[in-house]
């Protein structure tokens, strides 16, 4: 009797990475090709969730959690509320003609060609760092409250001042 063949961890992680990468690309294409704005927003949710999963597969669990909480959660709720509260039938003037569409296609193809040439011909440095097998949240917390505590406190005071200023501006007299 033959024992079942186990899949190596690296192969499993690579498969998950490429699966989520393809899902993110398909979601981005769905944003562009969707006929309704609500469906575009749902495709954006799929894309952002796939990017969060890519962060997790690369060992950046804190970034994955922040991506889900802030972008997939809060920002997308605001976008969907904005869509629902906006009138559905809005007529926009026809600004560009066929010449503008052709120019846009030309610029997009040229930009893609330049990017592809730079990516394929550049010598990319290899990182000597080895990935860690523990959560990164603890390391980020230690860095924020030990090494970078002054910058963290300055940013918190700046955000507090901005919030108080927004309340003062929005308050009716």
Q: Which two tokens stand for residue 12?
A: 């499993």
Same domain for 81 and 142, yes or no, is no
Distance CA 165, CA 78 (A): 22
Burial class (CB within 10 angstroms; exposed 0-12, middle 13-18, buried 19+) of 50: buried
Residue at a domain's end among 88, 123, 157: 88
Percent helix, strand, coil in the chain, to 5, is: 75, 0, 25
Q: Count structural domains, the chain.
A: 2
84 and 147 share one domain: no
List pLDDT tens digits, range 4-16.
666 787 888 889 9
Question: How confident is the model at residue 7, as a pLDDT?
Answer: 72
What domain range includes position 11? Answer: 1-88
Mean pLDDT score of the chain, rounded to an integer? 85
Is 64 within the bounds of a domain?
A: yes
Q: Does the residue 149 lie in any domain?
A: yes
Q: Kindly state whether residue 107 falls inside one of the protein's structural domains.
A: no
> Domain for residue 1, yes or no?
yes
Do 71 and 3 belong to one domain?
Answer: yes
For residue 104, tell me if it sits in a domain: no
Q: Is 153 inside any structural domain?
A: yes
Residue 44 contacts residue 27 (beta carbons within 8 Å): yes
Indicate the residue among 68, 88, 108 that finishes a domain.
88
The answer, yes or no, to whether residue 88 has pLDDT greater than 80, is no
Residues 5 and 75 in one domain: yes
Among 60-74, 101-115, 118-132, the range scoring the smallest mean pLDDT is 118-132
* 165 located within any domain: yes
Cα 81 from Cα 125, distance rounded (Å): 44
- For residues 80 and 1, membership in a common domain is answered with yes
**Tens digit of each residue's pLDDT (9 = 90 or more) over 27-67:** 999 999 988 888 898 999 999 999 999 998 988 888 899 99
> Whole-model pTM above 0.85?
no
End-of-domain residue from the set 63, 88, 113: 88
Query: Which residues, including other chains, have CB under 8 Å from residue 27's CB and lie 6 or more apart?
Result: 43, 44, 45, 46, 47, 50
Q: Are residues 18 and 79 in the same domain?
A: yes
Asked if residue 80 and residue 143 are part of one domain, the reply reads no
- In-domain check, residue 112: no
């Amino acid at each position: 009797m033959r024992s079942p063949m186990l899949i190596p961890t690296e192969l499993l992680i690579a498969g998950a990475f490429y699966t989520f990468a393809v899902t993110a690309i398909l979601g981005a294409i769905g944003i562009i090709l969707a006929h309704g704005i609500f469906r575009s927003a749902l495709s954006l949710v799929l894309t952002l969730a796939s990017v969060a999963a890519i962060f997790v597969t690369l060992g950046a669990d804190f970034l994955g959690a922040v991506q889900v909480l802030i972008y997939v959660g809060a920002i997308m709720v605001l976008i969907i509320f904005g869509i629902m509260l906006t009138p559905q039938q809005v007529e926009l003037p026809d600004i560009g003609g066929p010449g503008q569409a052709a120019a846009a296609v030309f610029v997009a193809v040229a930009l893609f060609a330049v990017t592809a040439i730079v990516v394929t011909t550049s010598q990319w440095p290899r990182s000597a760092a080895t990935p860690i097998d523990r959560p990164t949240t603890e390391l980020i917390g230690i860095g924020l409250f030990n090494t970078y505590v002054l910058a963290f406190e300055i940013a918190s005071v700046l955000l507090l001042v901005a919030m108080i200023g927004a309340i003062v501006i929005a308050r009716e007299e």
